[in-house]
Amino acid sequence: MTDRFKLYTWSVSLYSGKARAYLIKQHIDFDDISPASPEYDADIRPQIGRWIIPVMVTPQGEIVQDGTDIIDWFEARNMARLPAYPKTPRQLITALIMELFGGEGLLRPAMHYRWNFDDDNLDFILQQFGLFALPQVPPAERRDMALHAAGRMRKAAVAFGVTAETALAIEAAYYETMAAFDAHFAAHPYLLGGAPTIGDYGLFAALYAHLGRDPHPLRLMQEKAQMLLRWTERMRNPSADMVEFIGRDESLLADDAIPETLKVLLARVASDYLPEIEAMVAFSNNWLAENKPEPNEVVGGESLGRGIGMCQFDWRGHTVTAMVMPYRIFMLQRIQDAYDALDAPARDAVDALLTQTGLSALMTTRCTRRVERENHREIWR
C-alpha cells in the first residue's frame, strides 16, 4: 500500500485534464500512470467493465472513474485545499454551468480543431497517441496503429456535429468564445476570483487537452487569446500563479458577485449550447417513453454504448445532427439539483442572472428520468 493516489490518464485525453488539474491544485500526491500499463488491463479494466479514462485508485485500493466523480470523492471527504464548489448561490450555479459547457459544450470546437487540420496537427497527434497508448512498440509501428485509432476518432467528431457544412460556423463561434474568455481572464485569474472552481476544472478539459495543446488550436490561442492561454498555464500550476494580479489572494469574489465578463460567457452558453441541451432532453424524453428502461438499468445496456440516438437542432443557420449521451443529462441534473436545493431568495437571485444571460430554460428543460452514476457507469433511475 502507498500513500499516493494513482491517476490513469493521458495528456491527450480531454476528460483526464479535469481530474489532473484538480489534484495539482489541491496539492495531492499522485502518480500519472498510462492505461497502457499491464496493471490497467489486469486489475482496473475488469472491475470497471470497459476501457475508459480517467480512473483514480486511492491508497486504500478504491477505484473511482470519471473526472467529476474523482473531484467529488475528495470534496466529500473535506480533503480539498481549495473547495471546488462555491458556497453562494449565483456563483455555485455559474460554476456548474461552466463545468457542463467545458466538458460537453466545447466538444465541437475541440473535435474540429483536433481532427480537421492535418497539415498542422497530424504528425503531433499520431506521435502522442502512439507514445501514450503503445510505448513498448517501435515508433514506426505505433504510428500506423495510431493512424487506425485516429480514423475512429474522426467518425466520433461527426457524431458531435462536426462536418464540412458546420466547420465555418464552429470556427466563428470559437473565435467569439476565445475572445470572451480572453477578456474575462484579463480581469480575473480564474472564473470567480483568485481560486479555481468546478467551472474552471470543467473548462480545462477542452481548453487544454485539445484546444490548448494540439498545434493548430494552440497557435490560435497564442495569437488571439493570450490571457486565456495564461489561464491554461495557471491551471497546471500547483501555486496560484497570479503574478500579473498583484494583491489578489486565493479567495472567490465577495458578495456572490458575477463579473460582467463572466455574464458574457454565460450568454455564450445560451447561444452556442442551450439549443443542443433542449434537443437532447426532448429526444431523451421521447426515447424513454418508447423504450421504458428498467429502474437502475445501465445506459447502453450490454454494449455499454454512451449514446442512445441522434437529435437535431438549429444552430447558427445550420441543422446540426449530434449524438444524445445521457451522461450529459447527469451533468445537467447536477445544475438543476443545486438550483432546487436553494431557498426562495437565493433562487430569485439565480433566476435574475439566468434571465439576464438567456439561460432560464436551463432550469426548466428536464428529463423525465434521472441519470445517475453507479459502479462506474451511467444508469437510469
118: domain CATH number is 1.20.1050.10
In a domain, 264, yes or no: no
Are both 141 and 255 inside the same structural domain?
Answer: yes
In a domain, 81, yes or no: no
Question: Which stretches of the chain are assigned E, i.e. beta strand?
Answer: 5-8, 30-33, 55-57, 63-65, 297-298, 309-315, 318-324, 371-374, 377-380
Are both 123 and 33 inside the same structural domain?
Answer: no
pTM: 0.95
Are both 290 and 323 inside the same structural domain?
Answer: yes
Nearest to 376 by CA among 132, 77, 73, 103: 73
Are both 249 and 171 inside the same structural domain?
Answer: yes
- Structural domains in the chain (count): 3
Final residue belonging to a domain, choices 238, 259, 280: 259
In a domain, 246, yes or no: yes
Q: What is the pLDDT of residue 1?
A: 46
Q: What whole-number distance in Å separates Cα of residue 376 and Cα of residue 309?
A: 21
Are both 195 and 315 inside the same structural domain?
Answer: no
Final residue belonging to a domain, choices 45, 76, 107: 76
Are both 63 and 114 inside the same structural domain?
Answer: no
Taking the chain (381 residues) in consecutive chunks of 10 residues, what is each chunk's mean pLDDT? Answer: 84 92 97 91 90 95 96 97 97 98 96 95 88 78 76 86 96 98 98 98 96 97 98 97 94 98 98 97 97 90 76 96 96 98 98 98 97 92 91
Nearest to 51 by CA among 152, 120, 137: 152
In a domain, 106, yes or no: yes
Final residue belonging to a domain, choices 231, 259, 287: 259
Are both 253 and 280 inside the same structural domain?
Answer: no
Are both 150 and 23 inside the same structural domain?
Answer: no
Q: What whole-number distance in Å separates Cα of residue 246 and Cα of residue 129?
A: 40
Q: What is the pLDDT of residue 138?
A: 79
Those residues whose C-beta lies under 8 Å from the C-beta of residue 132, and which sit 6 or more positions away, are: 10, 11, 12, 34, 36
Are both 115 and 238 inside the same structural domain?
Answer: yes
In a domain, 347, yes or no: yes
Nearest to 36 by CA among 128, 114, 134: 134
Instruction: Specify the CATH number for the domain of residue 28.
Output: 3.40.30.10
Domain hosting residue 38, numbered range:
5-76
Strands 5-8 and 55-57: antiparallel
Q: What is the pLDDT of residue 301?
A: 65
Nearest to 230 by CA among 176, 177, 170, 184: 184
Are both 255 and 301 inside the same structural domain?
Answer: no
